[in-house]
């Protein structure tokens, strides 16, 4: 009888622990308005964020210019994730890219420059 009670208690404890861990994970959808339709941009953001403790999943959709990030709330916050993307050189929601990081991006990851009053070549 003691063994049965102990096994039931152990099972309840494990279920509670698993439930607590599941609650600690959040999903964050981010707008990435400055990201270009470029695999280098995608790879740069995904690789950069994977280095942070607590980020469990990252997916960048270039067509929609957005990212989905799953993270553990006891290890990293949504503000930290936005700041990390800004440090990589990209805007994330309301957080603007760090200018030095943006300047270090490859040309394909930068927004095309538009000069006022001067049409783009070929138009």
**7-42 pLDDT tens trace:** 556 666 666 655 555 568 999 999 999 999 989 999
Q: Residue 92 is part of a domain; what is its CATH number?
A: 3.30.70.100
Residue 123 confidence (pLDDT) above 50: no
Let me know if residue 101 belongs to a domain: yes
Are residues 26 and 70 in contact, defined by beta-carbon separation less than 8 angstroms? yes
User: For the chain, how many structural domains are there in total?
Assistant: 1
Owning domain of residue 59: 24-109
Distance CA 112, CA 92 (A): 18
pLDDT at 119 over 80: no
Task: Say if 86 falls within a structural domain.
Answer: yes
C-beta contacts of 14-22 below 8 A and 24+ residues apart: none
Chain segment 47-88, per-residue pLDDT in tens? 999 999 999 999 999 999 999 999 999 999 999 999 999 999
Q: Identify the three-state secondary structure at position 71.
A: strand
Residue 9 lies in a domain: no
Q: Examine residue 56 and state whether it is found in any structural domain, yes or no.
A: yes
In a domain, 5, yes or no: no
The answer as to whether 115 is a domain residue is no
Domain assignment present for residue 41? The answer is yes
Residue 54 lies in a domain: yes
Does the pTM surpass 0.85? The reply is: no
């Amino acid at each position: 009888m003691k063994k049965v009670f102990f096994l039931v208690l152990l099972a309840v404890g494990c279920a509670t622990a698993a439930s607590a861990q599941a609650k600690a994970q959040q999903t964050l959808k981010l707008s990435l308005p400055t990201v270009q339709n470029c695999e280098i941009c995608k790879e740069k953001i995904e690789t950069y964020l994977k280095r942070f403790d607590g980020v469990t999943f990252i997916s960048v959709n270039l067509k929609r210019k957005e990212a989905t990030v799953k993270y553990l709330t006891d290890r990293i916050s949504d503000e930290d994730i936005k700041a990390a993307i800004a440090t990589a050189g990209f805007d994330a929601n309301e957080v603007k890219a760090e200018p030095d990081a943006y300047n270090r991006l490859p040309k394909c990851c930068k927004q095309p420059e538009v000069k006022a009053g001067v049409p783009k070549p070929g138009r």
